[in-house]
Amino acid sequence: MKIFRTKQTLQNYLDGMRESKQRIALVPTMGALHEGHLSLVKDAQQIADVVVCSIFVNPTQFNDPSDLEKYPRPEENDLRLLQEIRCDVAFIPTVEEMYPKTEESWHLDLGNLEQVWEGEKRPGHFQGVTQIVYKLFRLVEPDVACFGQKDFQQVMVIQRLIDIKKLPITLHICSTVRNEKGLALSSRNMRLSAAGKDKALALYRSLNHVKRYFKVRELNTLRKEALDILHQEGEIEVEYLTICETRSLQEIDHIDPAKRHVALLVAWVEGVRLIDNMLLD
């Protein structure tokens, strides 16, 4: 595996790959890799000749400076995991490398996607996400970019970025990786106790209920039943549970057969904010 820490050395290497007509995939991450991240790399390996995994804790997408400070950075372990699955390239730049100017202006019109759900809860977050992803897109010039379905709103934001900038990049959405009981894998799970992880399984049961009865229950009834599943577990604080159209993430009050739909869920368990979702069609 090649390891690059500067934009220039990565670019020089990828120029050679392009000259030999290699198909390039990008997997952007913030490190602290787990099986969910590795599944993105493995998916990318199936559809590209060269896979670039970037590891960069992006400061512009954090609302709280203390969250940025506390974010785990186990670089040695991350590189070991990538080597084990034969990733081709790891790109690990510094903040100064990615943001040479201290105050860079950036704004993308994300429309409703920035106003609802995660956009409302974390103002400015998606501007920071699109800022760094666009930098990586310009640098790597991938044919395909792989993102996990688990952060569904982020995936829709990245698709909007690709559309607005008219980038020749295919967005590949990789299925959420879950443990054997159904808990979506996340670096945040490490902060849960064994009892907390068991409690968090109610998120999966709730989403499964929505998927199973999506076409046969009245939507308000279905939402109430899904919330009841979460509340029965006790000590789960639900931030939001909603059923939306996939592209705009507008909450629906009826099913449109011409559109696709997703259930989005955020809940707190043992002081840890857990995000999950399920495609319904």
Which residues have a catalytic role annotated? Answer: 37
Q: Please check if 167 is assigned to a binding site.
A: no
Task: Report the number of secondary-structure helices (H) and strands (E) in the chain.
Answer: 10, 9
* Residue 177 annotated as binding site: yes
Helix (H) or strand (E) holding 222: helix 219-233
Please indicate if the annotation marks 31 as binding a ligand.
yes
- Please report the sign of the dihedral spanned by the C-alpha atoms of residue 157, residue 163, residue 165, residue 170: positive
The CA-CA-CA angle for residues 273, 274, 278, to 5°, reads: 150
DSSP H stretches of helix in 20-142: 35-47, 65-70, 75-84, 95-98, 118-121, 125-140
Helix, strand, coil % (nearest 5) of the chain? 45, 20, 35
Confirm if 41 and 127 have CB atoms less than 8 A apart: no
149 is in an annotated binding site: yes
66 marked as part of a ligand binding site: no
Residue 127, marked binder: no
119 is in an annotated binding site: no
Report whether 187 belongs to an annotated binding site: yes
> Do residues 87 and 29 touch, judged by C-beta distance below 8 A?
no
Q: Is 35 annotated as a binding residue?
A: yes
45 in a known ligand binding site = no
Give Cα 196 to chain centroid, integer Å.
Answer: 22
Q: Does the annotation place 43 within a ligand binding site?
A: no
Q: Which residues are annotated as a binding site for ATP?
A: 30-37, 148-151, 177, 185-188
Q: Which residues are annotated as a binding site?
A: 30-37, 61, 148-151, 154, 177, 185-188
Q: Which residues are annotated as a binding site for beta-alanine?
A: 61
